Amino acid sequence: MKIIIAGAGKVGHTVAALLAEEGHDITIIDRDPDTIQILSNSLDVICVEGSATNSGTLREAGAEKADLLLAATEQDEVNMICGISARKLGTAHVIARVRDPEYLHQTEFLRETLGLSVLVNPEYECAKEISRALRFPGAVRVDSFSKGSLEIVEHKIPAGGKLEGVALKELVQRFGAKILVGVVERGREAMIPNGNFVLQAGDRLSITGESRELRRFFTAIGQFKRPVRRVMIMGGGRSAVYLTRMLQESGMEVTVVERDRERCELLCDLIPQANIICGDATRSDVLQEDGLSAADAFVALTGDDEDNIITSLYAKSCGVGSVVVKVNRDYLDEILDNVGLTTIVSPKEIVAQQLTRYVRAMSNSMGGSMETLYRLADGKVEALEFKVSPRSACVNIPLKDLKLKPNILITAIIRGSKSIIPDGSSRILPGDHAVIVTAAGRLQNLDSIVEESR
């Protein structure tokens, strides 16, 4: 696909690298010549220096024949104007990054009025991911399929835990929950295991199941922590506003600690039911005075990675049950995991996944259509949801008889409101949604999971 990315900031750069890796024809627009030079040297993309709202710049980038334009500059209004201009020039689809909370309630109106395909809000998506993690204590990360009817939960096995030394084929019988381990990350290696695989302490698992079955499983292994009732958030930016509203809708009490007095005054208007504290959350006395010891969860959401990391380590040392840290530099993930900070969020990575999902869905036209995509194990593995067509080569064949390619696993079948953790006798039927985990590279469609088509 011919894709234009307007704005080469954190999100634009991350998405460009990911989509270029997938083989798309990428052109980047940015007005900063230094940024253009860096991108030209580091990525296999075309770079155009100029304003994303200038029709001449858009024409130079190829907007008249582009399949998709992503407007990802720092200004919402620039992104919307860029999107409108690109559509007028002939770009087939436009995605605009829109961050202002005031625009969130006008999403459908803006899409229809401005002719935009998708509006993306990194801070809102970040807040949604954190909210899911806090609703499932004990999980490192939670991803959902088919509007939440099925979930993939990441969990790291602690030393001395009940999963240590257990073979995967014994899990259901031993712990009484219908779940399936689709991915095991051990050190730097990500594996799609078989039933004989024996778990070790330190393994990071991606576990598929319905929410109630996952809770039953985590309770049985002694890792389902008490529900989160009180949350302390460090930093009062947009993500904090979105997250506070989500948590309050779930009945949680929220305290936001923000050092800027003017921002605190605004927060009192934006989230009036929250407890807003004007103070420096990097100071232990401020945290203790404002109730850290009584908090069930601590979320670090400032724009400074170092402040977020150090304060999260302190919160963990104080015994806070769930600690979530926002980090922009993804190369820090392994270091943080080694010091016990396992629930890490990155807005740019979350949005990159969402946009990749959209682009992949546009590209798919055979077999079944991909509806959801998540990258697991630091991008080494993908979990994809396909809607099954009657013509698919996988239809109505017992799974034990399907000749699957190596490093592919069918982890779930969603049939209406029912989620099925499959065994060898299970069959995929037309209209089902099939969840596939693969380490075999990009899947074009559902039929590409089998060695031979009928």
Residue at 445 is within a domain = yes
Residue at 185 is within a domain = no
Confidence (pTM): 0.77
Residue at 259 is within a domain = yes
Please say whether the beta carbons of 336 and 318 come within 8 A.
Answer: no
Cα separation, 372 vs 117, in Å, equals: 17
Greatest mean pLDDT range, 106-120, 138-152, 253-267:
253-267
Mind listing the pLDDT tens digit for each residue in 76-106?
899 999 999 999 999 999 988 888 877 777 7
Domain boundary among 326, 345, 364: 345
Residue 137, pLDDT > 90, answer no
Judgement on whether residues 364 and 326 belong to the same structural domain of the protein: no
According to the model, what pLDDT value does residue 365 have? Answer: 42
- What CATH number does residue 82 fall under? 3.40.50.720
Please say whether the beta carbons of 30 and 36 come within 8 A.
Answer: yes
Residue at 100 is within a domain = yes
**Confidence label for 270 from pLDDT (cuts 50, 70 and 90):** very high
Residue 361, pLDDT > 80, answer no
- CA distance to 46, 83, 120, 168, per residue, from 89 (Å): 19, 10, 22, 55
Please say whether the beta carbons of 412 and 446 come within 8 A.
Answer: no
Cα separation, 322 vs 292, in Å, equals: 12
Greatest mean pLDDT range, 139-153, 273-287, 386-400:
273-287
Q: What is the mean pLDDT of residues 147-155?
A: 82
Cα angle vertex 256, ends 227, 156, to 5°? 40
Judgement on whether residues 16 and 84 belong to the same structural domain of the protein: yes
Judgement on whether residues 393 and 313 belong to the same structural domain of the protein: no
Residue 453, pLDDT > 80, answer no
Residue at 96 is within a domain = yes
According to the model, what pLDDT value does residue 138 have? Answer: 65
- H helices then E strands: how many in the chain? 15, 22
Cα separation, 258 vs 242, in Å, equals: 15
Residue at 267 is within a domain = yes
Strand pairing category for 204-209 and 180-186: antiparallel
Task: Note the Cα 151 to chain centre separation in Å.
Answer: 13
According to the model, what pLDDT value does residue 374 have? Answer: 80
- What are 377's two structure tokens? 């194990």
Residue 366, pLDDT > 50, answer no
Judgement on whether residues 334 and 429 belong to the same structural domain of the protein: no
In the chain, pLDDT over 90 holds for what percent of residues? Answer: 52
Cα separation, 377 vs 185, in Å, equals: 6
According to the model, what pLDDT value does residue 240 have? Answer: 95
**Confidence label for 440 from pLDDT (cuts 50, 70 and 90):** low
Strand pairing category for 433-438 and 408-415: antiparallel
Tally of domains in the chain: 3
Please say whether the beta carbons of 450 and 404 come within 8 A.
Answer: yes
Judgement on whether residues 34 and 54 belong to the same structural domain of the protein: yes
Domain that holds residue 251: 230-345
Please say whether the beta carbons of 381 and 40 come within 8 A.
Answer: no
- CA distance to 46, 125, 151, 375, per residue, from 418 (Å): 46, 26, 13, 24
If DSSP codes are grouped into helix, strand and coil, which group holds residue 374? Answer: strand
Residue at 196 is within a domain = no
Which of 32-36, 82-86, 113-117, 385-389 shows the lowest mean pLDDT across its residues? 113-117
> Which residues fall within 8 angstroms of residue 281, CB to CB, at 6 or more apart?
234, 235, 257, 259, 287, 300, 302, 307, 311
Q: What is the mean pLDDT of the chain?
A: 87
**Confidence label for 454 from pLDDT (cuts 50, 70 and 90):** very low
Q: What is the mean pLDDT of residues 109-129?
A: 83
Domain boundary among 103, 120, 137: 120
Residue 19, pLDDT > 90, answer no
According to the model, what pLDDT value does residue 443 have? Answer: 75
SS3 readout for 253-311: EEEEEECCHHHHHHHHHHCCCCEEEECCCCCHHHHHHCCHHHCCEEEECCCCHHHHHHH
According to the model, what pLDDT value does residue 110 have? Answer: 75
Judgement on whether residues 13 and 114 belong to the same structural domain of the protein: yes
Residue at 130 is within a domain = no
Residue 17, pLDDT > 80, answer yes
According to the model, what pLDDT value does residue 367 have? Answer: 38
Which of 133-137, 302-306, 367-371 shows the lowest mean pLDDT across its residues? 367-371
More confident residue, 228 or 353: 228
Please say whether the beta carbons of 177 and 211 come within 8 A.
Answer: no
Q: What is the mean pLDDT of residues 188-204?
A: 91
Judgement on whether residues 9 and 97 belong to the same structural domain of the protein: yes
Judgement on whether residues 369 and 338 belong to the same structural domain of the protein: no
Task: Note the Cα 3 to chain centre separation in Å.
Answer: 22
Residue 236, pLDDT > 90, answer yes
Judgement on whether residues 111 and 15 belong to the same structural domain of the protein: yes
Judgement on whether residues 326 and 381 belong to the same structural domain of the protein: no
Judgement on whether residues 341 and 354 belong to the same structural domain of the protein: no
Give me Rg for the CA atoms of the chain: 23
- What CATH number does residue 380 fall under? 3.30.70.1450
Domain boundary among 67, 92, 120: 120
According to the model, what pLDDT value does residue 149 have? Answer: 75
Judgement on whether residues 357 and 337 belong to the same structural domain of the protein: no
Mind listing the pLDDT tens digit for each residue in 25-48?
999 999 999 999 999 889 999 999
Q: DSSP 3-state helix, strand, coil percentages of the chain (rounded to 5)?
A: 35, 25, 35
